[in-house]
Structure 1
Amino acid sequence: MKLAAVQLRASDDRAETIGRAEALIDDAAAQGTRMLLLPEMFAVPFVQPEPDPEYFVHAETLDGPSNTMAQEASRRHQMTVVSSIFEASAVPGVYHNTACTYVGGELRSVYRKSHLPFSNGFPEKFYFRPGETEPEVVQTPDGGIGTIICYERHFPELGRVVALRGGSVLCVPVASASAPMKEVFQLELRAHAVFNGLFVICANRFGVEGSKEYFGLSAVYGPNGDVLAQAPDDQDGLAIADVDLAEVDAVRRRRPFLRDRRPELYTRLSSAQVQ
């Protein structure tokens, strides 16, 4: 089967950006893709370093135009599509950074980013209320898939949750433009793949938005940490990798990290303070 990451430049015209994203999904489907990931809040410009009350104009409901396109493409191609939006919740004034997983056109998961930065030019705490649930794993006809969002890749516990819940594929939609983070970006994603025995799909945007220049590096990683496919870093595009999800079980037998865990020794990790 094939896994794909979409790399995309977000313009100020939401409909135009959604159209380009849909064309890339259609292209990926024509190449046999079964699971596809879109970048973080793919259809709109991402937040700038200074909080801006006018930015909320970009928010949309779960059934807004971004997810409507993703859902229809998922149904049309009978594939799994992970979308990502700036969600306006049913409660006035409450917003989330949200990923939605569609399987054959059916909404199977809504995951709201639970770890929010206010650093490196990303004041996300100003805009979003953090989610309250751990990542879940959606069982698809092709295998289990779970999602964490951008900044959450810095927290190894979340990728481990996806592995423990039976995931074979970890999706990481990102909006990454931080120069200091670029040096460790792929290192972190490769590490998630290795210590959890997972395939990892990471989808980033590229190009200049205000004071930020997004660096791309959208890719698919194997459970041995190798880069299986990577999109060009200076244009819209796809990273598509032909994979065998049976490799997940084989890797976990060779490197039985999940078997050898000692959770009884880690109880202090879930405490508010570790002494």
Structure 2
Amino acid sequence: MKLAAVQLRATDDRTETIGRAGDLVDAAAGQGAGIVLLPELFAVPFVQPDPDPDYFELAERLDGPSNTMAADRSRRHGITVVSSVFEAGDVPGVYFNTACTYVAGELKSVYRKSHLPFSNGFPEKFYFRPGGTEPEVVHTGETGVGTIICYERHFPELSRIVALQGGSVLCVPVASASAPMREVFQLELKAHAVFNGLFVICANRVGREGVKDYFGMSAVYGPNGDVLAQASDNTDDVAVAEVDLELIASSRRRRPFLRDRRPELYDRLTAM
């Protein structure tokens, strides 16, 4: 099968941005991709360093224009599309950073970002309520897909949960621009792949937004930590990689980290 990461420049024109995103999903599907990942909150500019109450005007319901496009493309091409939206919750004044997984047009998972930063110019705690559930694995018919969101890649416990649930593909939509994070960006993603025996798809935005310059580097990683496909620098693009799902089982046999876990020794991780 093939996996794809969409790399996208967001503008103030939501309709135009969603249109370009849809074209990129079409392009990925045209290259045979069965799982396509969009960047974090792909349809709108991301948060700036100073909290801005006007930003809440960009929020949308789960059935808003961003997910409508994702569901349509998922249905049209018979593929899995992982979307990411600035969600206006059911309770007035409550908002989430949310990833939705569509399989052949059907909504299979809603995951709300549970770890929120207030550092390096990303004051997300001001905007979003943290989600309260662990990542879940969606079975697409070919494989199991789990999603964590951006800042959560710094917490290895979350990708391990995906692996323990039988996931083979980890999706990581991001909005990454800060210099400290760029230094370790691919290192972390490769580590998630190797430690858990997973394929990893990471989709970032690209281009200048306010004071931030998003660096792209959207890519697909193999369970050996290798970069299987990477988007072009500084432009809208899709990175599409053909993968062999049999590599998941073989990599976990050669590096049996899941077998050798000792969870009875790890109580301290949740007690402190």
TM range (shorter): over 0.9
Check whether the contact 1:116–1:125 (CA below 8 A) recurs between aligned residues: yes
The amino acid across from 1:267 in the alignment is D
Q: Tell me, in whole angstroms, the C-alpha distance in 1 between the residues paired with 2:226 and 2:21.
A: 26
The amino acid across from 1:245 in the alignment is L
Deviations 1:109-145 (A, max 9, x none): 0000000000000000000000000000001112000
Q: Tell me, in whole angstroms, the C-alpha distance in 1 between the residues paired with 2:160 and 2:242.
A: 24
Higher mean Cα deviation, 24-33 or 44-53?
A: 24-33
- Runs of 4+ in structure 1 off by over 4 angstroms are none
Which residue pairs with 1:236 in the alignment? 236
TM-score with structure 2 length normalisation?
1.00
Which residue pairs with 1:177 in the alignment? 177
Deviation of 1:233 after TM superposition, in Å, equals 1.8
Matches within 5 A, 1:1-275: 1-271=1-271, 273=272
SS of 2:48's equivalent in the other structure is coil
Check whether the contact 1:34–1:142 (CA below 8 A) recurs between aligned residues: no
Contiguous gaps of at least 5 residues in structure 1: none
Deviations 1:175-232 (A, max 9, x none): 0000111010000000000000000000000000000000000000000000000001
The amino acid across from 1:9 in the alignment is R
SS of 1:22's equivalent in the other structure is helix
Q: Tell me, in whole angstroms, the C-alpha distance in 2 between the residues paired with 1:132 and 1:234.
A: 35
SS of 2:217's equivalent in the other structure is coil
Root mean square deviation, CA, Å = 0.4
SS of 1:57's equivalent in the other structure is helix
SS of 1:11's equivalent in the other structure is coil
Amino-acid identity (%): 78
Deviation of 1:246 after TM superposition, in Å, equals 1.4
TM-score with structure 1 length normalisation?
0.98
Contiguous gaps of at least 5 residues in structure 2: none
SS of 1:208's equivalent in the other structure is strand
Check whether the contact 1:231–1:238 (CA below 8 A) recurs between aligned residues: yes
Aligned length: 272
Q: Tell me, in whole angstroms, the C-alpha distance in 1 between the residues paired with 2:233 and 2:116.
A: 26
Deviation of 1:245 after TM superposition, in Å, equals 1.0
